[in-house]
Amino acid sequence: MSKNFDVVVIGGGPGGYIAAIRAAQLGFNTACIDEWKNEKGGPAPGGTCTNVGCIPSKALLQSSEHYEHASHGFAEHGIEVKGLGLNLEKMLGRKNTVVKQNNDGILYLFKKNKVTFFHGRGSFVKGDANGYEIKVAGAAEETITAKHVIVATGSNARALPGAEFDEKLILSNTGALAISEVPKKLGVIGAGVIGLEMGSVWRRLGAEVTVLEALPTFLGAVDEQIAKEAQKLLTKQGLAVNLGVKIGTIKAGKNSVSVEYTDAKGEAHTGEFDKLIISIGRTPNTIGLNAEGVGLKLDERGFIAVDGDCKTNLPNVWAVGDVVRGPMLAHKAEEEGVAVAERIAGQHGHVNFNTIPWVIYTSPEIAWVGKTEQQLKAEGVQYKAGTFPFLANGRARALGDTSGMVKFLADAKTDEILGVHIVGPMASELISEAVVAMEFRASAEDIARICHAHPSLSEATKEAALAVDKRALNF
Ligand code: FAD
Ligand code: NAI
């Protein structure tokens, strides 16, 4: 087996494994090192996203949504379900199978693209512009060399001081995806993306969910109108979101956790929960990399410091994904991975940070790209807005899911699309049209004049674009 590589990628999450595949496609002798282990101790590439993030959470979101539909969604369609039961073990087993399919898929892709895979932890030994020595420790024990190194070591859940994760009662995303019995009372600290997604899963399966959020506003980064609508819809479903709370002492007992907190009015409460999920953000992971040993610079928040092209302070060392600045999203990590491999090959890798979509996979889904209305106001940009409710969309009525709306924000003078915000059915798919349009710097009028299939949810996108010019046809 070769020990001298053109490109070595440390970390096999979406940033790392995609960078390795692209580097191999470009003709580089490439290796990828990843330390994630499956339950048998074998390799499980795919990182947080595949093992304890995007993929398992979406598997459980789908299963729990089916369960909720069968519990009380089918009735309006005239479908009567009797003797409905929940086999949680099977549901979790299916989620694990989906994860394994993705792990195996990545190992297959490595083989297909001739990427050498090392299962273990990679750390810098020494190096300079001529190359780096990297030690692999784990199932594979090697010292390998690389002309270029791409660091893609991802992130870890942030713990609350005094309430370390035990994954039995106090859960990070890892434990939140593997609760073996539906808790009667589930506490969630942090009403961010994980809090809302995992809170939705367990509420649908029968838990009474209380979400405790420090900020006084719900989803502060989301367009205000969309966030308000989402809050209304999620609250109606029974997700109790408490804003402006201050968390005090958290005590884990034998079978339950108590959380002392004050609410927005300053009143003191103690919540007793069977399980507590803490989802208050993630921190960059550089554990065991020996960054300091080779002088790899981190910023003040612990991220690997990079420039706009993902170059670090060390020659020929690059870093991508959650371990560097920018949104912690799998598709952002992938785009950076591809761009870096192409830059190593002397090409012009491209990542447009203005058109990275966000999706929160609640029901209804929340998706957006570009600027929010409050951002445009703060920046003093003159804009026009157009909204269209799913209530007026024929396909949404046929689906029986008419919640939410599509909202367009366009430049007042040029009509260029500045942001698109959706809360509603299949928002995760609908947002792609807006991303493409913004990438090509389209105007709202461009979307308004494009023929959209009828009946489809995407007609709501066209109508919202028409509404920018006050000429929606169906509302
Ligand atoms: P990671 O996926 O964290 O991968 C890093 C890999 O490097 C890991 O396998 C780690 O074991 C390995 N590693 C670390 N150090 C070393 C070392 N020294 N040697 C060898 N290997 C090492 N994003 C979305 O876009 N959509 C979603 O729906 C979504 N859902 C999410 C749900 C949850 C519950 C969570 C927690 C996250 C979710 N994310 C989602 C975020 C997404 O998972 C991350 O943005 C993404 O995984 C980042 O990719 P990465 O390659 O930078 O890092
Ligand atoms: P987050 O940043 O989305 O939300 C954290 C929330 O916790 C914020 O609302 C914050 O105000 C709150 N908070 C922070 N400290 C607190 C405290 N002491 N008490 C109460 N509330 C507090 O982080 P989250 O949900 O942990 O997810 C991490 C990241 O993972 C996301 O930002 C996102 O990048 C990624 N992710 C993406 C998903 C997607 O794309 N669908 C799904 C899940 C995660």
Average pLDDT over residues 104-118: 98
The pLDDT, as a whole number, for residue 266 is 97
First-to-final CA distance of the chain: 65
CA–centroid distance, residue 316 to ligand 2 (Å) = 33
In short, whether 386's Cβ falls inside 6 Å of ligand 1 is no
The rounded distance, in Å, linking the Cα atoms of 366 and 225 is 12
SS3 of the chain: helix, strand, coil, percent, to 5: 35, 25, 40
Rounded distance, CA 451 to CA 231, Å?
33
Give the mean model confidence (pLDDT) for residues 217-230. 98
Q: How far are the Cα atoms of 47, 142, 286 from residue 38, in angstroms, in the given order?
A: 11, 21, 21
Strand-pairing partners, residue 156, are 283
State mean pLDDT over 314-334.
Answer: 98
Among 169, 170, 146, which Cα is nearest to 158's?
170
Nearest to 432 by CA among 365, 348, 386: 365
What's the 177 CA to ligand 1 centre distance in angstroms? 15
* Rounded Cα distance, 100 and 307, in Å: 35
pLDDT of residue 1: 63
Residue 322 in contact with ligand 2 by CB distance below 6 A: no
Res. 181: pLDDT tops 80:
yes
Identity of the amino acid at 393: N
C-alpha 444 – ligand 2 centre gap (Å): 32
CA nearest to 421, candidates 328, 358, 353: 358
- Cα 455 to Cα 295: distance, rounded to the nearest angstrom: 58
List the one residue out of 219, 226, 221 whose CA is nearest residue 464.
Answer: 226
* Cβ atoms < 10 Å from Cβ of 253: 9
Average pLDDT on 426-454 reads: 98
Give the pLDDT confidence of 43-66 residue by residue, as tens digits: 999 999 999 999 999 999 999 999
Residue 130 clears pLDDT 70, i.e. is over it: yes
Starting from the CA of residue 178, give the closest ligand: 1
Radius of gyration of the CA atoms of the chain, in A:
24
Pocket test for ligand 2, best of 234, 280, 362, 366 (most atoms within 8 A of CB): 280
- The answer to whether the CB of 183 is under 6 A from ligand 1 is no
What pLDDT band is residue 421 in, cutting at 50, 70 and 90?
Answer: very high
Return d(Cα 435, Cα 452) in angstroms, integer. 16
Instruction: Convert the pLDDT of each residue in 339-390 to its tens digit.
Output: 999 999 999 999 999 999 999 999 999 999 999 999 999 999 999 999 999 9
Q: Is 281 in the pocket of ligand 2 (CB under 6 A)?
A: yes
Q: What is the 3-state secondary structure (H, E, C) of 111-164?
A: HHCCCEEEEEEEEEEEEECCEEEEEEEECCCEEEEEEEEEECCCEEECCECCEC
pLDDT of residue 140: 80
CA angle (338 as vertex; 334, 340 as ends), nearest 5: 115
Residue 2 has pLDDT above 90, yes or no: no
Ligand nearest to the CA of 245: 2
Residue with tokens 């998706």: 367
438 φ, ψ (degrees, to nearest 5):
-70, -35
pTM above 0.95, yes or no: yes
Ligand of minimum distance to the alpha carbon of 38: 1
Measured in angstroms, how far is the CA atom of residue 15 from the centroid of ligand 1?
8
> What is each CA distance from 471 to 14, 199, 395, 420, in whole angstroms?
42, 39, 20, 18
How many percent of the chain have pLDDT more than 70? 100
Catalytically active residues, by annotation: 454
Distance 93 CA to ligand 2 centre (A): 26
Q: CA–CA separation, 328 vs 147, rounded Å?
A: 27
Task: Please say if the pLDDT value at position 17 is more than 70.
Answer: yes
Is the C-beta atom of 35 inside 6 A of ligand 1?
Answer: yes
For tokens 């996979």, the residue is: 361
Task: Supply 197's token pair.
Answer: 């997604």
| Cα–Cα–Cα angle for 34, 350, 354, rounded to 5 degrees | 100
